[in-house]
Amino acid sequence: MSQRFFFDVSNGDETIPDEAGIEAATVDEVLAEARDVIIEMADEAIGIDLDQRWTMVVRDAAGSIVGRLPIKR
C-alpha cells in the first residue's frame, strides 16, 4: 500500500518545504526517488546555492523523518 512522502530541502537555517509529496510503497523506494531528485536538482541548478550545505529531509505524511540525504553536485 502506497503512502505519501515529502522532500523538504534544508540548509540548517532555511527550509524549503515540499507541499505536494510523492506516493511510494516503501521507504527504500522513496529514498531511491529522493536520490534521483537530488541528481536532477544539481543538474538544473534550481535556485539554491549548492556551495552551501543543503540536505534533503524525507518525511512521511505524519511528519516523521525517514531519511536525510546530502545535496551535492
Which band of pLDDT confidence, cut at 50, 70 and 90, is reported for residue 73?
low
Residue 36 dihedral angles phi and psi, to the nearest 5°:
-65, -40
Number of Cβ within a 10 Å radius of residue 24: 20
pLDDT at position 62, please? Answer: 95
Handedness of CA 30, 44, 70, 56 (dihedral sign): negative
> In this structure, are residues 3 and 33 in contact, taking their beta carbons and an 8 Å threshold?
no
pLDDT at position 45, please? Answer: 56
Cell numbers that stand for 28 in this block: 527504500
Total-model pTM: 0.82
Model confidence pLDDT, tens digit, residues 5-36: 999 999 888 999 999 999 999 999 999 999 99
**How many helices and strands, by DSSP H and E, does the chain display?**
1, 5
